Amino acid sequence: MGVWDFIYNLFPRLYELTSAALGGLPTWASYLILGLIGIVLILFFVILVVMLFVWFERRLVGRFQIRLGPNRAGPAGLFQPIADVIKLLLKESFTPSKADRWVYFLAPVVAVVPAFLIFAVVPIQGGAGGILVDLNIGILYIVAISTISVVGVFMAGWGSSNKYSLVGAMRTVAQMVSYEVPLVLSIIGVVLIAGSLSMVTIVKEQAVPFILLQPLGFLIFFLGSLAEINRSPFDLLEAESEIVAGFHTEYPGIWFAIFFLAEYGHALAVSAIVTTLFLGGWMGPGLPPYLWFFIKVLLVFSVMLWLRSTLPRFRVDQLMGFAWKYLFPLALVNIFITGFEAILWPDFPWPIILVNILVMGVLIVLWSRFFPLEEGFRLERYGIGIAKGMALTFKHLFRRPITVQYPEQRLTPSRRFRGNELVLDLGRCTGCGACVRACPLNIIHLETRRGPEKGLIVERFDVEAGRCMYCGLCVESCPVGCLFMGRSYERATYRLEELTVGMDRLTAPDRKPSAYAHPEMEKEMPEQTLLAPPKGVH
């Protein structure tokens, strides 16, 4: 057996090992231990993947916004989430005085547990060891479990006895409940085709990925689940501009971290479910199935991020309207169509794909045209506007990020840059002291002595940069032109005495003079570095 083979059959191997180890125990004990192992596995799996996702999201969203995201902590900023977690853990943990303590502290738990439970039935690959338990009601189980988190949100909002939290909770729950309806209805289409609720069976049924057979169902399910997990454009619960941070306003450090975990866990779960239901799960050529699975999940997740970085937030009334007037009827129509097709062509020949895509387009246009959420709100002209926006953000992926890796990399300022430090050319200085006289703050201290032949030798030339207001009178008053403004812009120092700039630093070679009061110098100065490259340049 080669390495490849081992990688390919990783999970079955693990399964065999564990079952062999538990061979002797009575069934219920083995059940218990298996359950515990599963729990632990899922815990770690989820937490790890969530960290990965956090990093991934920040990076990808950065790219969508023509930045490169966190890239300092660890290779390519991979340790950023860890740093965040540490920060959160180190934060002070307090509870609001009026909080209903039990409810307050149980809320995050209730919110996070379902996120983990979902993964019990997600098949990361076929056959043994690919899934913890293959419930024959898998998808129903998922829907049911995911509703429990609603209660957690409620508890959080209520327990922290804060009006923003309460409003946020109400919004969230209203949103979740409303979007659950089209969500479940759109699942029914898939179940109709697959003829089973079990996740494994559903995946196995997907000779053709159901996204092709159920384009409309996919759309509804995807949007619905976006709303379920409160990701933008449905992230009203944390509309900072309206309600501070929604239901978890009052939650400090670790408790907030748990909510955070729950949220991303749900995101992961949703991606996994979408993969399973519509993208043919682990199936794929070449690579080991679980890799396929993860790739697809990541793909779905990145589509979420794509949407997030494109679309603005819904208004709360539009939100409800969108659920009830738009997704819900469409989901019903989808069920009818699928039912008819299931009766007429039980084996779903390929023309159905075209038919369904066509139907989807027609329905979307029709609904946008005839059932606008409000006057003039035609879903951005039948979704064309949305498509345009998506295209734009997608294009941003391939533009050079404008991030500047300060301090290693610095921007060259404009030639006209006035500068904010003094540069002294000692060679020319005659120690005439004009600058001293010119300084309105008397912060230039000059000491000279007679030189061997006529002329003065400058012994001390200090500037109290801390008090300097960079009026530039000294530069202008210098008769020999030995004083300049400098081109750099670091001003911070670590110690106070460094604020008194001595002669050695004034004359340091790394200090580049700016063209202030010396326009003739502009010519030999370097080009200014532009962040947004001119057209055509990448």
Partner 1 sequence: MGVAIAFWVLAAVSVASALAVVITRDIFRAALFLVLCFLTIAGIYITLGADFLAAVQVLIYIGAISVLIIFAIMLTREAQRGSPSNRLRLPALAIGVLLLATLVFAVLVTPWNVVVPLPEAEPTTAGIAARLFDLEGGFVLPFEIVSVLLLAAAIGAIVLARDR
Q: Which of 143, 277, 304, 307 binds partner 1 (CB under 8 A)?
A: 143
C-alpha 209/C-alpha 278 separation (Å) is 6
Q: Which is nearer to partner 1, 30 or 414 (CB)?
A: 30
Shortest Å distance, C-beta 198 to partner 1: 9
135 binds partner 1 (CB under 8 A): yes
Which pair of structure tokens corresponds to residue 198?
């079990």
- Among 11-19, 173-181, 312-320, 490-498, which window interacts with partner 1 (CB under 8 A)? 173-181
- Among 170-178, 280-288, 454-462, 516-524, which window interacts with partner 1 (CB under 8 A)? 170-178
150 binds partner 1 (CB under 8 A): yes
DSSP annotation of 417 reads -
103 binds partner 1 (CB under 8 A): yes
156 binds partner 1 (CB under 8 A): no
Q: What contacts 146, CB < 8 A, 6 or more positions away?
A: 114, 118, 228, 266, 269
166 binds partner 1 (CB under 8 A): yes
136 binds partner 1 (CB under 8 A): yes
First to last CA, the chain: 48
201 binds partner 1 (CB under 8 A): no
Largest separation between any pair of C-alpha atoms in the chain = 112
Q: Which is nearer to partner 1, 181 or 365 (CB)?
A: 181
3-state secondary structure of 423: strand
323 binds partner 1 (CB under 8 A): no
C-alpha 400/C-alpha 533 separation (Å) is 8
Q: Is the CB of residue 322 less than 8 Å from the CB of residue 329? A: no
Shortest Å distance, C-beta 276 to partner 1: 17
Q: Which is nearer to partner 1, 225 or 232 (CB)?
A: 225
Q: Which is nearer to partner 1, 134 or 476 (CB)?
A: 134
141 binds partner 1 (CB under 8 A): yes
Instruction: Tell me phi and psi for residue 458, to 5 degrees.
Output: -75, 120
Q: Which of 83, 88, 128, 170 binds partner 1 (CB under 8 A)?
A: 170
Q: Is the dihedral of CA 132, 138, 142, 148 positive or negative?
A: negative
147 binds partner 1 (CB under 8 A): yes
User: How many residues of this chain interact with partner 1, rule: CB under 8 A?
Assistant: 28
Q: Which is nearer to partner 1, 172 or 356 (CB)?
A: 172
Q: Which is nearer to partner 1, 154 or 260 (CB)?
A: 154
Shortest Å distance, C-beta 18 to partner 1: 19
100 binds partner 1 (CB under 8 A): yes
Give the contact letters, 58-77, x = binds to partner 1 (CB under 8 A), - = no: --------------------
Q: Is the dihedral of CA 18, 21, 23, 25 positive or negative?
A: negative
Long-range contacts of 427-430 (CB under 8 A, 24+ apart): 427/482, 428/480, 428/481, 428/482, 429/458, 429/461, 429/480, 429/482, 429/483, 430/455, 430/456, 430/479, 430/480, 430/482
Give the contact letters, 3-42, x = binds to partner 1 (CB under 8 A), - = no: ------------------------xx--x-----------
Q: Which is nearer to partner 1, 35 or 451 (CB)?
A: 35
Helix or strand holding residue 446 (H, E): strand 444-450
- Among 167-175, 210-218, 390-398, 507-515, which window interacts with partner 1 (CB under 8 A)? 167-175
Which pair of structure tokens corresponds to residue 420?
């904010």
Which residues face 444 on adjacent strands?
A: 463
Q: Is the CB of residue 459 less than 8 Å from the CB of residue 447? A: yes
Shortest Å distance, C-beta 286 to partner 1: 34
Q: Does 233 sit behind a cis peptide bond, omega within 30 degrees of 0 on the bond before it? A: yes
Residues in the chain: 538
144 binds partner 1 (CB under 8 A): yes
Q: What contacts 536, CB < 8 A, 6 or more positions away?
A: none
3-state secondary structure of 406: coil
Judged by the rule CB under 8 A, the positions of this chain that interact with partner 1 are 27-28, 31, 100, 102-103, 135-137, 140-141, 143-145, 147-148, 150-151, 154-155, 158, 166, 170, 173-174, 177, 180, 197
